[in-house]
Amino acid sequence: TQLLEQSPQFLSIQEGENLTVYCNSSSVFSSLQWYRQEPGEGPVLLVTVVTGGEVKKLKRLTFQFGDARKDSSLHITAAQPGDTGLYLCAGNSGTYKYIFGTGTRLKVLA
Amino acid sequence: GAGVSQSPSNKVTEKGKDVELRCDPISGHTALYWYRQSLGQGLEFLIYFQGNSAPDKSGLPSDRFSAERTGGSVSTLTIQRTQQEDSAVYLCASSVGLAGVDEQYFGPGTRLTVT
């Protein structure tokens, strides 16, 4: 069974701080996605990474796919209250089925 | 354009009753997923529809759960004889159906509470 573990589970930081969220598995994925979910809404896709070692940037967010395509990280620089939410990674093995991670709940305090 | 819509947004039901949850996907999306999310945690895959192919029902937790998709569009998830452990947010997503790099568009979910 493929599993995606995210760490930390919860993170509360002050505005302006940097943070990194991790998504780890013992399985290899052909692609990995990161989503953000706000209360009362469904997850919204932030990025898809498909190549081992790939780095993608989205404004203050930097996403990296591990060389072995078993793990990924999300780094946020100078966090803002608007970054608050539940961050989910989702791995895919080339089919339609996505395995979602356990989630990291981020709260950024003003 | 319109996104994925789900109804009802909230449903409170008594243990043992049946419930129906509805999902209206984005027009033209051939793939449709149902997920279950407990207590703001990760998403648990329930079922997948793609065009006219047989659905992948491998994630349905018991035979009390069923789903159908009519005319390749609207989908209904039915839970019979609800139990308290069925309480969760049920999310629907649709996509164009590109395996591996698909972007799933999620609805806001239905929060089900079984008392």
Instruction: Find the distance separating the first CA and the last CA of chain A, reported in whole Å.
Output: 40
The whole-angstrom separation of Cα B11 and Cα B110 is: 7
pLDDT > 90? residue A95: no
Helix (H, G, I), strand (E, B) or coil at B6: strand
pLDDT > 60? residue B1: no
Where residue B98 falls among pLDDT bands split at 50, 70, 90? Answer: confident
**Closest partner residue to B109 among A42, A45, A105, by Cβ?**
A42
Query: How far away is chain B from the Cα of A94, in angstroms, using its nearest Cα?
Result: 4
Q: Calculate ∠ Cα A9-B61-A45, nearest 5°.
A: 45
pLDDT > 80? residue B100: no
Where residue A96 falls among pLDDT bands split at 50, 70, 90? Answer: confident
| Residue closest to B47 by CA, chosen among B30, B64, B33, B61 | B33
CB contact under 8 A, A99 and B45: yes
**Does the CB of B49 have a partner CB in chain A at under 8 Å?**
no
Mean pLDDT of chain B: 93
Residues making up chain B, counted from first to last: 115
pLDDT > 60? residue B103: yes
pLDDT at residue A70, as a whole number: 95
**Does the CB of A22 have a partner CB in chain B at under 8 Å?**
no
Where residue A63 falls among pLDDT bands split at 50, 70, 90? Answer: very high
Residue with tokens 């999306």: B29
pLDDT in tens, B20-63: 999 999 998 999 999 999 986 789 999 999 988 889 999 999 99
> Higher pLDDT residue, B109 or B96?
B109
pLDDT at residue B21, as a whole number: 98
pLDDT in tens, A9-50: 999 999 999 999 999 999 999 999 999 999 899 999 999 999
**Does the CB of B50 have a partner CB in chain A at under 8 Å?**
yes
pLDDT > 70? residue A1: no
pLDDT > 80? residue B6: yes
Residues of chain B found within 8 Å of residue A43, distances taken between Cβ atoms? 43, 91, 104, 106
